[in-house]
Amino acid sequence: MYVVVYKKIVKMVPVEKRETLSDKLLNYLLKTKKEAKMPSSMAHCFLSQWQRGTFDDETGLAVLLEATATVEPEKTAEFVKNDLQLAEAARAIQEATG
């Protein structure tokens, strides 16, 4: 897992946009049909963060971002670029998933 890489991406997201990002990423994960792409270790980490309710801190959001980018890389990068207007963060997501 690359939580360190995703923490750097999270730092590119202004604090006021993090809740919106968290909500959308969680929505993508819950609706995906590509859950088989997520390694079991990542799923355990994601579920642990969810149980603790820590998707609003840097580490929790990084775990959520990594999980979502693993199963829905295009949707994740597109949302970050178009809806949040964060082209640099979207490029970083594409590089991390490429």
The predicted structure's pLDDT at residue 39: 77
Which has more pLDDT, 37 or 53? 37
Domain range for 54 is: 3-97
What is the pLDDT of the chain when averaged over all its residues? Answer: 89
φ/ψ of residue 39, rounded to 5: -60, 150
Q: State the total domains in the chain.
A: 1
- Quick one: pLDDT band at residue 2, thresholds 50, 70, 90? low
Which has more pLDDT, 50 or 85? 85
The three-state DSSP-derived secondary structure of 8-55 is: HHHHCCCHHHHHHHHHHHHHHHHHCCCHHHCCHHHHHHHHHHHHHCCC
Query: For residue 67, how many other CB atoms are within 10 A of its CB?
Result: 29
In sequence order, the 6+-apart residues with CB closer than 8 A to the CB of 41 are: 1
Q: Tell whether the model's pLDDT for residue 47 goes beyond 80.
A: no
Which has more pLDDT, 57 or 89? 89
Residue 62 host element (H or E): helix 58-71
Query: For residue 40, how many other CB atoms are within 10 A of its CB?
Result: 7
Report the percent of the chain where pLDDT is more than 90: 60
- Full-model pTM: 0.85
**54, exposed or middle or buried, with CB in 10 Å at 0-12, 13-18, 19+?**
middle
The predicted structure's pLDDT at residue 1: 55
Taking residues 23-52, what's their average pLDDT? 83
